[in-house]
Every structure is written in structure tokens, then in C-alpha cells.
């Protein structure tokens, strides 16, 4: 059967012929172009090469092995080249995809690249569990470690051992970068110190204060300094009211830093009940309420309520450790006794959990190193009996209306909202002189409306 063109192509061919004015060369060129277009439309598009690896991920012991299989589609050439992204440090892989993990922990990437199209590849992940050893630039003990806002960790100060095994404080500092698993030096502190405390400020800087310092009287310091992560430098700031070691520094929700407890040794060793607040806006420390118990080597954990849980530690009367806790209220500036832990603990670790609880673990109790842990329980708020509170009225200057001040039950405790009687539809109060109700100006007023408030007690902590 003779080949026939689709109707659309036949019409197109007749149109081309009519426009060629009988020119053989021009007609031949047009026919070839049309034929090429018809054939191109009839042929299927070239298949795209794709590569996949099975298994896509695997956990292996050190020096463990696994057989990877690569599948290539879109080409008759299904061969691949096997490589390891980390090179020789990531283990070995044969030409057939047989992989041997290295003898060190880490995450390694095995790559299969298509020989038909070297721009196409697939990667499998091989994980060797374990702890990766990364060395700091210098040895240090009893230093501070503070996570910065950029994710890096600042290690500052601490003690180092000399050849005669005597501890010497250092002023050096370095940054750990979790992206590269490396330590890099940064600027040095203005003072070499160990057993100090550090707190991240809301502006991204780090407050470092107190500690044991060489070159000072009896080796304890009240000085403080700030680390600027952008400049990589330390500068001095205000000093604490007393030299402290083994104390805590906790950034509150209002941005101030709470300093609690600690000890220092002058002619005798003293453990403190004093506490103070550092104000980043002024660079100064001011005293706040005292703790209920003198303590050093304790913990201070910011709770979701904004209060701070102080736990454990030791003092001269309880050198084996304290089981007591207390709560700091930043609004009142006071400490109140909290529940006791199940075991006395000093040099313990406290961690705030996402559910609002606090895990208190380890530490020492006398000569015993502890393996036990305490978990705080946050009790739900208990509503207090409702109390009626009269609304207060005050006269506004040069106006013939009254403003009503009220406390909103939906606002935070202590927050006040105001309602203007011009827009609220509430009539002004009747000015009479009932007994027992007075405005701030001293005039007797009976309010025409009243508001009932329900206040919730703050959550408490139990163990």
C-alpha cells in the first residue's frame, strides 16, 4: 500500500507548493524541512538516564561490610563507577559495589556514577555509630562552654596542668564549629580564670564572671567580661559585689542574668547566700534577694514559668551535699524553699526538658559518686478563690468623661487594660459618698460596675 500523509501534512504540503512559484530548489528545501519535522514528531523523545542505589542507607559496625547494588535506567549501558565522597577516610568500595566501612565512627557517602552519562549519579549513606574524637587546641578543665546564637560553642578559660602537675588558669578561648567538627582559636579573655560562670545574653554576647584567678588576693575574683562573637574579642564590664567560685549564672526571660551562691576563700572559706542581677543595658550588678540556704557547686535552671529552680550543692554545714531546692521569683526578687530531692547532690547536672520538667542527675554525696537521678514534677496551677475588686476611676484633665481602669482576666497577671467610657457605652459612675470606697484623689465614689477576677497560683515543683 502506498504511504499516505496525514491530512494536515498534505494540506501543508499543497500550501508550500503554491508559494514556491515552481522553483525546484526552493520546493526541494521546503519538502525536506517538512519531512524532517514529520519524522521528528513521530520519533519518541530520548530517555533520560537515572541511577539508584540499594540499600539507600545502612548502619555498620567499625570495619563492617555491605554489598551495594546500582540500577541504571534510560540507557543500554548499565555500568557504573563506584567512589566514596570522603575518599580513603570513608572506607573502600570495589568495582562491584562491595563496601568496607572504616574503623572510625562517622557518616560516609558511597557514590555510583553512570558510565553512559557521568552527570547522573546516586549516593548511599553508611553510618558507623560511635563517638568522634575532636581535639581542642589546648587542654583545659573547669572551663565554661556556651552555645552561641550561630550554633558554635565558646570554650573559655579553665585550668591546665603544668609539668609539675600544678593547675594554672588560662585566658585562652576557642570556638567549636559543629558543621566542620573543628576547634579554632578566638580572642583571649582579659583575665585568666577557672571555676567561673558564663551566660548567653539576648544580644548574642556572652557574660563571663568570677572564678579562681591567679594574681589576685587569695585567688578569687569578682570581675566580669563580655565576649563579642562578631568581633571575636573580650572586653571588661562591671564587677560582682563579691568574688565567687562554683556559682551559677542564669539568663532570665527579661534578659537579666541571675548570679547565685558560690564560695570564696579569704582567711576562711565562705559559702554565699547572696545573689545578684547583671543588667546588660547598664553593665552593672545589683544585689537581689538571698537564697534560703548557702550553697556552692549547685545548679540553677530556668523554668518555663520564668522562675529559676536552684538545686543541690554544698556548704560548710553540709559538705557531703544538699538535697534541698528553692525557687527564685524574678518579679518579686525573692527565693522560696522548694521540695527536696531524694538524694543530697553536689556537682550535679541539671537539664530542662521540653515538657517543662527538670532532670537532676549524678553528682556526689560525700565520698560517693551518684548514678541516681531526680525528675521534677510540675503541678498544674491551682486557682485561688475568686475575689471581687472594685473598679477604680480617675478624672482626666480637661475632659467631662471618666476613664475606667480594670484588670483583664485574659491578660497576664498585673497587666492593666483601660476602657474609655466615651466609646464603651458604660455610663459614668454616680458621684455619691458611700462608705469605704475612695478614689486615688481621696474622693468617695461608688462604682457603677464591678469586675470579678480569678488568679492562678504559679506552678510548683515536686520530686
Q: What is the C-alpha to C-alpha distance for residues 330 and 324, in angstroms, rounded to an integer?
A: 20
- Res 45: pLDDT: 63
Helices (H), 188-322: none
**In the structure, what pLDDT confidence band is assigned to residue 435 with cuts at 50, 70 and 90?**
very low
> Cis ω on the peptide bond leading into residue 55 (within 30° of 0)?
yes
Q: Which residues contact 136 (CB under 8 A, 6 or more apart)?
A: 155, 174, 176, 183
Q: What's the number of CA atoms in the CB half-sphere (13 Å) around residue 241? A: 16
**In the structure, what pLDDT confidence band is assigned to residue 46 with cuts at 50, 70 and 90?**
low
Q: What is the C-alpha to C-alpha distance for residues 302 and 353, in angstroms, rounded to an integer?
A: 11
pLDDT in tens, 165-200: 557 899 999 999 988 889 999 999 999 999 999 999
pLDDT in tens, 337-357: 999 999 999 999 999 999 999
Collapse the DSSP code of 42 into the 3-class scheme (helix H, G, I; strand E, B; otherwise coil) and give the result. helix
- Of 202, 327, 321, nearest in space to 275 by CA: 327
Query: Which residue's C-alpha cell is 551495594?
Result: 68
Collapse the DSSP code of 15 into the 3-class scheme (helix H, G, I; strand E, B; otherwise coil) and give the result. helix
Distances (CA, A) of 286 to 106, 207, 217: 48, 15, 23
- Res 103: pLDDT: 92
pLDDT in tens, 55-112: 999 999 999 999 999 999 999 999 999 999 999 999 999 999 999 999 999 999 999 9
Q: What is the C-alpha to C-alpha distance for residues 401 and 428, in angstroms, rounded to an integer?
A: 7
**In the structure, what pLDDT confidence band is assigned to residue 268 with cuts at 50, 70 and 90?**
confident
Reported for 51-55, long-range contacts at CB under 8 A and 24+ positions apart, including other chains, are 51/80, 51/112, 51/113, 51/114, 51/120, 51/121, 51/122, 52/122, 53/110, 53/112, 53/122, 53/123, 53/124, 55/124
Phi, psi for 7 (deg, rounded to 5): -55, -40
Query: Would strands 416-420 and 450-453 be described as parallel, antiparallel, or unpaired?
Result: unpaired
Query: Which residue's C-alpha cell is 567549636?
Result: 176
Other C-beta atoms within 10 Å of 396: how many? Answer: 10
Q: Does the pLDDT value for residue 217 go beyond 80?
A: no
Collapse the DSSP code of 217 into the 3-class scheme (helix H, G, I; strand E, B; otherwise coil) and give the result. helix
Phi, psi for 88 (deg, rounded to 5): -65, -25
| Better-scored residue on pLDDT, 337 or 43 | 337
Grid cell of 57 as nine digits: 542507607
CA 273 to chain centre: 30
The pTM assigned to this predicted structure is 0.64
**In the structure, what pLDDT confidence band is assigned to residue 257 with cuts at 50, 70 and 90?**
very high
**What is the set of domains in the chain, with CATH numbers?**
7-42 (no CATH), 50-128 (2.60.40.1080), 144-378 (2.120.10.80), 387-453 (no CATH)
Other C-beta atoms within 10 Å of 228: how many? Answer: 14
Q: Does the pLDDT value for residue 153 go beyond 50?
A: yes
- Res 40: pLDDT: 59
Q: Does the pLDDT value for residue 454 go beyond 50?
A: no
Amino acid at each position: 500500500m502506498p504511504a499516505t500523509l496525514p491530512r494536515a501534512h498534505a494540506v501543508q504540503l499543497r500550501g508550500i507548493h503554491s508559494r514556491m512559484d515552481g522553483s525546484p530548489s526552493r520546493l526541494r528545501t521546503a519538502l525536506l524541512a517538512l519531512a524532517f519535522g514529520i519524522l521528528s514528531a513521530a520519533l519518541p523523545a530520548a530517555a533520560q538516564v537515572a541511577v539508584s542505589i540499594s540499600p539507600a542507607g545502612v548502619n555498620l559496625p567499625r570495619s563492617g561490610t555491605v554489598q551495594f547494588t546500582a540500577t541504571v535506567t534510560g540507557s543500554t549501558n548499565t555500568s557504573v563507577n563506584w567512589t566514596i565522597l570522603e575518599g580513603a577516610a570513608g572506607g573502600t568500595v570495589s568495582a562491584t559495589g562491595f563496601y568496607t566501612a572504616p574503623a572510625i565512627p562517622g557518616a560516609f557517602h558511597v557514590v555510583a556514577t553512570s558510565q553512559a552519562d557521568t552527570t547522573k549519579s546516586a549516593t548511599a549513606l553508611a553510618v558507623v555509630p560511635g563517638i568522634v574524637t575532636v581535639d581542642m587546641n589546648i587542654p583545659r578543665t573547669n572551663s565554661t562552654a556556651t552555645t552561641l546564637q550561630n550554633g558554635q560553642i565558646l570554650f573559655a578559660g579553665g585550668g591546665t596542668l603544668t609539668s609539675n602537675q600544678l593547675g594554672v588558669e588560662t585566658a585562652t578561648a576557642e570556638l567549636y564549629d559543629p558543621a566542620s567538627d573543628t576547634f579554632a582559636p578566638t580572642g583571649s579573655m582579659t583575665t585568666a580564670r577557672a571555676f567561673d560562670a558564663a551566660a548567653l545574653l539576648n544580644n548574642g554576647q556572652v557574660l563571663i564572671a568570677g572564678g579562681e584567678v591567679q594574681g589576685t588576693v587569695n585567688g578569687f575574683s569578682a570581675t566580669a567580661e563580655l565576649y563579642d562573637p562578631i568581633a571575636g574579642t573580650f572586653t571588661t564590664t562591671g564587677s560582682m559585689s563579691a568574688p565567687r567560685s562554683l556559682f551559677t549564672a542564669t539568663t532570665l526571660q527579661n534578659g537579666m542574668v541571675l548570679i547565685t551562691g558560690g564560695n570564696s576563700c579569704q582567711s576562711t572559706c565562705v559559702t554565699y547566700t547572696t545573689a545578684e542581677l547583671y543588667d546588660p543595658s547598664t553593665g552593672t550588678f545589683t544585689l537581689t534577694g538571698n537564697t534560703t540556704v548557702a550553697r556552692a557547686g549547685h545548679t540553677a535552671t530556668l523554668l518555663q514559668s520564668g522562675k529559676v529552680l536552684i538545686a543541690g550543692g554544698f556548704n560548710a554545714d553540709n559538705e557531703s551535699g544538699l538535697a534541698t531546692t528553692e525557687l527564685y521569683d524574678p518579679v518579686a526578687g525573692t527565693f522560696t524553699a522548694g521540695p527536696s530531692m531524694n538524694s543530697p547532690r553536689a556537682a550535679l547536672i541539671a537539664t530542662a526538658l521540653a515538657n517543662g520538667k527538670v532532670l537532676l542527675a549524678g553528682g556526689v554525696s560525700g565520698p560517693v559518686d551518684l548514678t541516681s537521678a531526680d525528675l521534677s514534677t510540675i503541678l498544674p496551677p491551682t486557682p485561688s478563690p475568686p475575689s471581687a475588686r472594685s473598679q477604680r476611676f480617675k478624672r482626666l484633665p480637661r475632659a467631662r468623661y471618666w476613664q475606667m481602669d480594670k484588670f483583664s482576666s485574659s491578660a497576664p497577671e498585673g497587666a492593666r487594660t483601660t476602657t474609655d467610657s466615651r466609646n464603651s457605652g458604660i455610663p459614668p459612675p454616680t458621684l455619691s459618698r458611700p462608705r469605704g470606697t475612695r478614689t486615688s484623689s481621696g474622693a468617695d465614689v461608688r462604682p457603677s460596675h464591678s469586675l470579678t477576677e480569678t488568679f492562678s497560683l504559679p506552678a510548683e515543683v515536686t520530686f
